[in-house]
Amino acid sequence: MVGVMLLLSLLLFVWLRSLPGGPASAICGDRCNPAKLAQIKKTLGLDDPVIVQYLNFLKRAVTGDFGVSTGVQPGRSSMEIFVERLPATIELGVLAMIIAVAAGIPLGYLAARRRGGILDGLTLTSSLLGVAIPVFFTAFVLKYFFAVDWHLFPISGRQGDIEATRVTNFFVLDGLLTREWDAAWDALRHLILPAVTLATIPFSFVFRITRAAVLDVLDEDYVRTAEAKGLSSKVITRRHVLRNAMLPVVTIIGLQMGALLGGAILTETVFGFPGLGDALARAFTGRDYSMLQLLILMAAATYVVVNLLVDITYAYIDPRVRTR
């Protein structure tokens, strides 16, 4: 995996530098002229051969130094920005996943149990719609009604004009830890709309996989055996059906973390939520090399880690793996 990451970072590095514009032009600004641009490039070391630049980058990257941002928050260390914004995106992603799972699994189970019923049809259609509607449009519509029109939720940002102490930078958690309940509540209110928007992506997958998995499991011999044994349906559901149906669901949750990261780019942009997705979108438009290198590598790394976690969880809940 390290090899893949190295290759990715080299590709990205060379590609970025082959493009016109970039940090030097951003710093040079509107009053730029070729002589000034050359001077800035020299200062930043952007006139060295690409391979020298890459080796320097690697040397610094090993120590955790990914350079200075030029577009997202100019002048600050990219790593600092990353560390500060990571909790925001995790908070958002986790809440979105909780919403998706909390809605998707019970609905999927019910839909499978009453296959062909009205509930089944309705939920199936809505889950398909979840895939068909561009997520940023969902965001616009939700924001328009719930925040602009009905004033139920705030419009953008992570927290309002409230004095809050920062401990972990997970704003909700911070509020709880420091007992600043109003700060925690305010942060949570800011999270809800973006999280619901983001949840539409994993929801449709969680729902459909749960439904399919429950249908599969209901046909398995051990469920039939359990039914024949006369076990109560509650016990069957809990011990046999749900537990076994959860395997593919956990897989899909893991897989969807990647998609969630992608969806966060759009959702955070619409809701002005200062997380990594917002940083990424602005790094692209601002041609912020150091931020882009860090974020894309981290996205790939996160993806790897999440998949690893899925494997571990898999081992934990799969009865077959456990008994071994």
Partner 1 sequence: MTPLNRKKERLDGLAASTAAPAAGQAGGVDVMDPVDPVGEAGAVRDAEGVSLLASAWRRLRRNPMFIIGAVLVALFILVAVFAPLLAPHAPDDRPLIGQISASTNPIPKAQDGFPLGGDEKGRDLLSRLIYGSRQTLIVGVLATLGGLAGGVTLGTLAGAFGGWVDSVVMRVVDVLLSLPSILLAITIASLASQPSQWTVIVAIAIVQVPVFARLLRGSMLAQRSSDHVLAARSLGVKRSAIVFRHMLPNSLGPVFVQSTLALSVSIIEAAALSFLGLGNPDDSKAEWGQMLGAAQNLFDLYPHIAFWPAACIVVVSLGFTLMGESMREALDPKSRR
Partner 2 sequence: MKVNRKAAAVAAASAAVLALASCASSDRDSGSGSSSGGGGGGGTLTFGAAGAPAVFDPFYASDGETFRVTRQLYDTLVMFKPGTADMTPALAESWNNSPDGKTWTFNLRSGVKFSDGTALDATAVCKNFERWYNQTADGLAGAEYWSSNFGGSKVTKEPSLYKSCTPTSNKVVVQLNRVTSKFPSVLGLPSFSIQSPTAMDKYKANDLKGKGEGIAYPEYAKSHPTGSGPFTLEKYDTANQTITLKRNANYWGDKAKIDKLVFKIIPNESSRKQALEAGEIDGYDFPNPADWNSLKQNNDLKVRPAFNVLYLGLNAKANPKLKDLKVRQALMTAINRPQLVKSQLPEGAKVADEFMPDTVDGYNTSPTKYTYDVNKAKQMLQQAGAAGMQIELWYPSEVSRPYMPNPQKIFDAIKKDWEAAGLKVKPVTKPWNGGYLDAVDNGDASSFLLGWTGDYNTADNFIGTFFTETTNRFQTGQYPWGKQLSAELTKADSTVDEADRTAQYKTINNKLVTEYLPGLPISHSPPAIVFNKKVSGITPSPLTDERYNYAEIKK
- Near partner 2 by CB under 8 A: residue from 79, 92, 142, 158: 158
- Near partner 2 by CB under 8 A: residue from 6, 7, 14, 43: 43
Whether residue 143 contacts residue 270, with contact meaning beta carbons closer than 8 Å, is answered with yes
Q: How far is the CB of 263 from partner 1 (least distance, A)?
A: 7
Contacted entry of partner 2, partner 1, none for residue 211, CB cut-off 5 to 8 Å set by kind: none
In Å, what is the CA distance from 129 to each residue of 125, 202, 205, 316? 6, 12, 11, 33
Give me the torsion for CA of 54, 59, 60, 66, rounded to 10°. Answer: 40
Q: How far is the CB of 284 from partner 2 (least distance, A)?
A: 9
Site of interaction with partner 1 (CB under 8 A): 1, 4, 7-8, 11-12, 15-16, 19-20, 115-116, 128-129, 131-137, 140, 144, 148, 212, 215-216, 219, 251, 254-255, 258-259, 261-263, 265-266, 269, 280-281, 284-285, 296, 299-300, 303-308, 310-311
Residue nearer to partner 1 on the CB measure, 52 or 305: 305
11 belongs to the binding site for partner 2 (CB under 8 A): no
Residues 236 to 255 in contact with partner 2, rule: CB under 8 A: none
Q: How far is the CB of 125 from partner 2 (least distance, A)?
A: 30
Nearest partner of 92 among 170, 156, 151, 153, judged by Cα? 170
40 belongs to the binding site for partner 2 (CB under 8 A): yes
Residue nearer to partner 1 on the CB measure, 105 or 292: 292
Q: Which ranges constitute the DSSP H helices of the chain?
A: 2-18, 23-28, 34-44, 50-62, 78-113, 118-132, 135-142, 171-177, 181-218, 221-229, 233-235, 243-270, 276-285, 289-317, 319-323
Q: How far is the CB of 250 from partner 2 (least distance, A)?
A: 16
Nearest partner of 89 among 261, 228, 293, judged by Cα? 261
Q: Mutual orientation of helices 276-285 and 243-270 as an angle, nearest 10°?
A: 50
Whether residue 294 contacts residue 166, with contact meaning beta carbons closer than 8 Å, is answered with no
Question: DSSP state, 242?
Answer: I
Residues 103 to 132 in contact with partner 2, rule: CB under 8 A: none
Rounded Cα gap, residues 321 and 319, in angstroms: 6
Residue nearer to partner 2 on the CB measure, 228 or 285: 285
74 belongs to the binding site for partner 2 (CB under 8 A): yes
